Each structure stands twice: as C-alpha cells, then as structure tokens.
Amino acid sequence: MSKIYVDEILPKENAQISAPNLQLPAGSVIQTVTDQYSYVGTTITTQGTWTNVGRTISITPTSTNSKIVLMHYAGGMALNDPGSIGLRVLRNGSLTNIFQSRHGYHSATNFWGSVSFTFVGFDEPNSTAEQTYQIQLAMQNGSSQIRYNSNTSSFGSSNLAVDGHGTVQFILQEIAQ
C-alpha cells in the first residue's frame, strides 16, 4: 500500500473546501458563537416577576442530533435588602428547563458582591432552525430591588459598569453527538 505525506493542502484560488459527508466524533465542537459586551445593569423592582436582562444570543445547529452548550458570566449582583435572586434561560422565548437557579445572599442591607451568575447548561433543541437564548432574573424573596451585572451597592448611583464588572459574556457551542 502506498502512503502520501504532505505538510499542507490548499484549495485552488477562490475555491472553498467542503466535506459534506464528514462525521465528527461525539463531543467535537462544531461551532462556537460568542457575545461579549459592556452592560450597564438592569434594576428589577417587582418581586416574583421574571425580567429579561442583557442581550439575546443565537446559534443555528447543523444537525438535529447536536447538543448546545451555554456558558454565561455576568460580573456582580446588588441587592438593596436581604433576599435571593432567581436566574433562568429561555430558548426562543419559552422556558425549556435549560437552566434555572436560585441564589441566596447574606442578611446585609445594600449587599454587593462578586457574586457572578456563571453557569454552564446543555440544551437539545432537536432542530436545525436558529435557536435564540435569553437570560431572565427574578427577585424570589426579601429584597425590594436587585441589579444585574452591577458593581455598586449604592442604589442611588448610576455607576453600574466600571472595574470590569460591566462585561457580560455569553457563549454557545454546538457539540456533535
């Protein structure tokens, strides 16, 4: 049997390489979509009401068998009274149980901490149509005001995005199954 060894294969000028029958092994990353932006936090004042925060992010899966990995980071949360915050992720405007969490806080007034909403979640949309994801927050008890992605405990301040806490990162990856 003959063997061919090459250092590099290049397409002809202005040509594209395609591999329509390529099957990646399970667990391979097919594509990554990222959104990183400065964000002046949202103030939420109605307890028990889910509120959209930040921007949406979209990905179009290449296969109905793919999983989508969601990674999100927002730098800090502020509460003006003791309480807890709920966070969840919507897909295409609907709750799909991708991720939902409740975070409790100390009993201090005007609490701010480097309490980030960092999570990794998995979704199986079973579709090759565009999928759009949105973060929502809700005050679940106690506090009368919360701020998403804030770095100040002073609720009279408009300074919500300095020292790096105003950066939100939202990453989606399509994973082969």
Flag whether 12 is in a domain: no
Flag whether 45 is in a domain: yes
Query: What's the pLDDT score for residue 157?
Result: 46
How many C-beta neighbours within 10 Å does residue 165 have?
23
Flag whether 23 is in a domain: no
* Predicted confidence (pLDDT) at residue 74 exceeds the cutoff of 90: no
The CA radius of gyration of the chain, in Å to the nearest whole number, is 21
Query: What's the pLDDT score for residue 33?
Result: 97
Q: Are 119 and 72 in contact (CB under 8 A)?
A: yes
Query: What's the pLDDT score for residue 93?
Result: 92
Asked which of 26-30, 126-130, 152-156 is least confident by mean pLDDT, the reply is: 152-156
Q: How far apart are CA 177 and CA 165, in angstroms?
A: 35
Residue 115: pLDDT band (50, 70, 90) is very low
Q: Which domain, by its residues, includes 57?
A: 29-175
Flag whether 47 is in a domain: yes
CATH of the domain at 63: 2.60.120.1340
Count how many domains the chain has: 1
* Predicted confidence (pLDDT) at residue 53 exceeds the cutoff of 90: no
Distances (CA, A) of 95 to 16, 43, 114, 121: 39, 22, 27, 14
Residue 6: pLDDT band (50, 70, 90) is confident
Flag whether 87 is in a domain: yes
Residue 119: pLDDT band (50, 70, 90) is confident
164 CB contacts (<8 Å, ≥6 apart)?
A: 75
Flag whether 21 is in a domain: no
The count of C-alpha atoms lying within 13 angstroms of the C-alpha of 60, restricted to the half-sphere facing its C-beta, is 2
